[in-house]
């Protein structure tokens, strides 16, 4: 992570069960590391809202009721920002402007065309967020095993270091995974994994006892299969071309879409 342990954490909240799970996970992370935790509720009004509520006054009353429900969920003393605007834009503006080290959010799964063309809020935030993002699809378990996929790219070193630091902080075992996509012209997977593990700080290697794992052909499929039996997945959020982002999605986005365990994405370059 860019600053570890995190000192300021931002959690996206609403009234969904998905959001509540993410908030609980964010609170656990904040308590473990003594970080400041803040929540943000993105209120995105639509033209239909006034048609339903009839007037700005009724709309404001409904907003106050929603905020009161959120307060009951997250606790009376939690720091809560209520911001009007589209969620992705609001979250990215806050992440860029207020020095957060980590954004935590749940996933609202979309299906079919809506997901392909628009993507989920979590996927869009991961694509452009300047700090790590922890995406929580289900209730988080105690972190005992951390999975870190790597490849030959330089940016993979950054995500592996983050995975190692997180695993060490949780006293967890670290698995370093490489998926072979080109067995003829690609790098030697055993040598690559040995080199990547050797680059970790000695204290991280000693405390996490990294295990090497090799799979073949399909990164997304094999990362998801390897994640079974792990409690946290840490991988690089490497931005591709515009076409790749919007039509096919990055590996990180596609893994987030289907992962059954929390995914921590590490940005590979400055996006502030």
DSSP string, 213-256: EEEES-HHHHHHHHTTT-SEEEEEE----HHIIIII--HHHHHH
Q: How is domain 8-136 classified at the architecture level of CATH?
A: 3-Layer(aba) Sandwich (3.40)
Three-state SS at 173:
strand
Q: What is the pLDDT of residue 217?
A: 85
Look at the chain and count its residues: 272
Q: What is the pLDDT of residue 244?
A: 44
**Strand order in 102-106's β-sheet?**
79-84, 36-43, 8-12, 102-106, 133-136, 263-267, 232-237, 145-149, 173-180, 211-216
Q: Angle at CA 246, nearest 5°, toward 1 and 150?
A: 35
- Rounded to whole angstroms, how far apart are CA atoms 205 and 199? 9
Can you give the pTM of this predicted structure? Answer: 0.87
Within 8 A by CB and 6+ apart from 130, the residues are 95, 96, 267, 270, 271, 272
Q: What is the pLDDT of residue 117?
A: 37
For residue 222 the two structure tokens come to: 């094999």
Tell me the domain boundaries of the chain. 8-136, 145-267
For residue 162 the two structure tokens come to: 């983050």
Q: What is the pLDDT of residue 59?
A: 64
Q: What is the pLDDT of residue 56?
A: 56
CATH code of 145-267, in short, is 3.40.50.620
How far, CA to CA in Å, does 63 sit from each of 20, 59, 70, 84, 88? 18, 6, 11, 10, 20
Q: What is the pLDDT of residue 253?
A: 82
Judge if 8-136 and 145-267 fold alike in CATH terms: yes
Low-confidence stretches of the chain (pLDDT < 50) are 49-51, 53, 112-119, 243-248
Q: What is the pLDDT of residue 4?
A: 74
| Beta-sheet pairing, 232-237 with 36-43 | unpaired
Each residue's pLDDT tens digit, 1-43? 566 789 999 999 998 888 999 999 999 999 999 999 999 998 8
């Amino acid at each position: 992570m860019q600053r570890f342990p995190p000192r300021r954490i931002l959690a996206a909240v609403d009234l969904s069960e998905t959001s509540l799970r993410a908030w609980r996970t964010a609170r656990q992370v904040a308590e473990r590391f003594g970080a400041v935790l803040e929540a943000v509720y993105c209120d995105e009004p639509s033209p239909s809202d006034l048609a339903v509520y009839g007037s700005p006054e009724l709309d404001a009353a409904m907003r106050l009721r929603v905020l009161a429900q959120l307060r009951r969920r997250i606790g009376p003393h939690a720091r809560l920002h209520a911001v009007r605007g589209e969620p992705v834009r609001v979250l990215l503006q806050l992440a860029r402007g207020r020095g957060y080290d980590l954004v935590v959010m749940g996933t609202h799964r979309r299906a079919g065309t809506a997901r392909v063309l628009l993507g989920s809020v979590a996927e869009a935030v991961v694509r452009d967020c300047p700090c790590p993002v922890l995406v929580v699809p289900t209730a988080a378990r105690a972190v005992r095993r951390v999975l870190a996929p790597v490849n030959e790219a330089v940016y993979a070193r950054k995500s592996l270091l983050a995975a190692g630091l997180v695993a060490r902080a949780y006293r967890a075992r670290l698995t370093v995974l490489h998926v072979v996509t080109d067995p003829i012209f690609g790098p030697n997977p055993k040598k690559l994994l040995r080199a990547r593990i050797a680059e970790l700080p000695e204290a991280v290697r000693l405390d996490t006892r990294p295990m090497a794992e090799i799979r073949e052909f399909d990164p997304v499929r094999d990362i998801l299969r390897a994640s079974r039996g792990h409690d946290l997945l840490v991988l690089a959020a490497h931005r591709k071309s515009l076409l790749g982002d919007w039509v096919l999605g990055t590996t990180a986005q596609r893994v987030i879409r289907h992962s059954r365990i929390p995914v921590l994405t590490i940005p590979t370059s400055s996006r502030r």
